[in-house]
Amino acid sequence: MEFSHVVEPALSASTDLLVMVVFGDPSKDATFRALDTATGKGLSEAAKSESFEGKSGQSLVLWSNGATKAKRIAVLGIGPKSEVELPAFRDVGAVAAQVANKVGAKSLALVLPALGSQREGGAIQMLAEGAILGTYKFGRYLTGAEAKKASSLQHFGFIVETKGKKPTAAQSRTVKASIERASVIAAAVSRARDMINEPAAYMTPSQVGAEAEAIAKKHDSVTVQVLSAKKCEDLGMGMFLAVGKGSDQESKLVHLVYKPKKAKKKIALIGKGVTFDSGGYSLKPSNAMEDMKVDMSGAAAVIAAIDAIATLGSEHEVHAIAACCENLVSGRAYKLGDVLTSMDGTTVEINNTDAEGRLTLGDAITYVRTKVQPDEMFDFATLTGACMVALGPYTAGVMSDHDGLCRAWLAAAERAGEDMWRLPLTTRLREQLKSPVADMRNTGDRFGGAITAGLFLKTFAKDTPWVHVDIAGPASLSTSRPHQPRGGTGFAVASIVEYLAKR
């Protein structure tokens, strides 16, 4: 899909589909009234008969019948202006693109509603991201003709209201920069989605390494190392390697580095990379196991984010680390009651082999803390069902003892339009992790499960400023929303880029 700045005003734009956005009652909108007059009251009559009130999610589509240069007109509601936040435009961009594809339009021109120049760039970015992400399809394994059919929409133009004057150079620059940033972010999110949606039979630990290598090859500023299981053994990563013991796929530690010419800070992003989680001997029931190829969503997010960061540039040195393995059952698999020795020497009694993520992450955190020695580190993990119970399927749980860092992260996530909510690292729950035979055990009780997982990880983070992001809910969706078709969402990529990439 190509994006452009359309300089003709709404009434004279020649396009297959003219799209306008209204904040509630359409009759209050000047563009709507102008189009209504041009169509001989066609728009207001349609609005009346279809009870269109400009609410979020509502839409009207009309054949213009020659009344405008555009073949069709679509009016999309976004809800009252006072309540609309920029990320709402991502869904609007997605719906606009979906309407275009439904009616077979090759081009569309969207009239940007008046938001004030400060928010224009942000809205254009969200609209463009939505258009790309809302038409994302994982079709690699579909063989039918319908599935192979390409989207009709090729050109997505933006009409920026200029009150009769020519668009200024500054406006053109804003449109161009917003479109570019959106394209880079949406490409990275789509890459993460592809990695997540691939079946575990394909997306093995080695394949995750290959994806990282492909990104490093694209950018001079990015280097990669894929550490073998043997190398990880030499490093003493006993927790990480235990999880992959039951698999025929070799465990791999993937380490990508983006280096700017001069770096301010060193920031590490750690992703959970369990390419399939059967639960191990604490076997998951079939329905809970069905979607467990998504258990590498954190790895996909941090790896794909490096691609966008390298394209956009960052003033920081950014590391992405994923300890990748499969949690399976076999004669070599780790068992309940085993005592593992982690990279930092802590011993851990296994009382549940399905709490494998914290074992892989614990050693990844120690690797980062001691080998990378970052100023800040973040981990992204589909870690606990308990986090979904607490916050629902759309919100990530954020845990940290570093208030300033945590607030800065949450602010970036909010700007990026990804729902995240802080949970406390309640120290008292630490008791649940006591073991009679080792320094600790890997799981606590059912209540507070997201927090005890966070406390387990904290043991390894020690004093390094660290934020833990549990993405078990939002990493994949079973019901779609406009800019997120069902399956892997690429959640966290947009927030990471917002936090780290240059403007």
Instruction: Judge whether 28 counts as a catalytic residue.
Output: no
CA-based radius of gyration for the chain:
25
Q: Of residues 16, 354, 379, 470, which one binds Mn ion by CB under 5 A?
A: 354
Task: Give the DSSP H or E segment for 470.
Answer: strand 466-470
The residue among 357 and 487 lying less far from Zn ion, judged by its C-beta, is: 357
**Piece of the chain touching Mn ion by CB under 5 A; list 243-251, 318-326, 351-359, 377-385:** 351-359
Q: Which pair of tokens denotes residue 85?
A: 């936040």
Residue 382: CB minimum distance to ligand BES, A: 4
The answer to whether 357 contacts ligand BES (rule: CB under 6 A) is yes
User: In the stretch 421-450, what mask flags binding to ligand BES with x, by CB under 6 A?
Assistant: ----------------------x-----x-
Is residue 386 a contact residue for ligand BES (CB under 6 A)?
Answer: yes
Confirm or reject binding of residue 470 to Mn ion (CB under 5 A): no
Burial of 10 (0-12, 13-18, 19+ CB in 10 A): buried
Asked if 282 and 354 touch (Cβ cutoff 8 Å), the reply is: yes
Contact at 8 Å (CB) between 460 and 366?
yes
Is the Cβ of residue 29 or residue 295 nearer to ligand BES in the bound state? Answer: 295
The one among 91, 161, 211, 277 contacting Mn ion by CB under 5 A: 277
Q: Residues 358, 369, 441, 458: which is the catalytic one?
A: 358
When asked if residue 454 is in the footprint of ligand BES (CB under 6 A), the reply is no
Task: Give the strands of the sheet with 396-399, arranged side by side.
Answer: 222-227, 252-258, 317-327, 266-277, 376-381, 466-470, 396-399, 420-422
Cα–Cα distance, 65 to 68 (Å, whole number): 8
Stretch near Mn ion under the rule CB under 5 A, chosen from 30-38, 116-124, 193-201, 276-284: 276-284
* 66-105 residues near ligand BES, rule: CB under 6 A: none
Asked whether the beta carbons of 221 and 258 are under 8 A apart, the reply is yes
What are the backbone dihedrals phi and psi of residue 480, each rounded to the nearest 5 degrees, phi first? Answer: -85, 160
Sequence-separated (6 or more) residues with CB below 8 Å from residue 129: 90, 93, 182, 185, 186, 189, 483, 494
Going residue by residue from 263 to 302, which x/- string records binding to Zn ion, judged by CB under 5 A?
-----------x--x-----------------x-------
- 428 is known as an active-site residue: no
| Nearest to 476, CA basis, from 279, 198, 269 | 198
What is the rounded distance in angstroms from the CA atom of residue 274 to the CA atom of residue 205? 8
* Choice among 71, 176, 259, 284 that is catalytic: 284
Question: How many residues contact Mn ion, by CB under 5 A?
Answer: 3
CA distance 429 to 456: 10
In the chain, % helix, strand, coil (3-state, to 5) comes to 40, 20, 40
Given Mn ion, Zn ion, ligand BES, none, residue 472, with its beta carbon under 5 to 8 Å by kind, binds: ligand BES
* Half-sphere CA count of 119, side-chain side, radius 13 A: 15
What mask, x for binding ligand BES by CB under 6 A, covers residues 276 to 305? -x-----------------x----------
- State the Cα angle at 185 between 21 and 1, rounded to 5°: 60
Q: Which is closer to Mn ion, CB of 120 or CB of 356?
A: 356
Minimum CB–partner distance for residue 276 and Mn ion (Å): 10
User: Among 73-81, 261-269, 347-355, 369-377, which window interacts with Mn ion (CB under 5 A)?
Assistant: 347-355
C-beta of 294: minimal distance to ligand BES in Å?
6
Exactly one of 167, 236, 313, 385 binds ligand BES (CB under 6 A); which one?
Answer: 385
Side chain identity, residue 175: V
Contact between 197 and ligand BES by CB under 6 A: the answer reads no
Interface with Mn ion by CB under 5 A: which residues?
277, 354, 356
Residues lying near ligand BES in the complex (CB under 6 A)? 277, 295, 352, 354-357, 382-386, 443, 449, 472
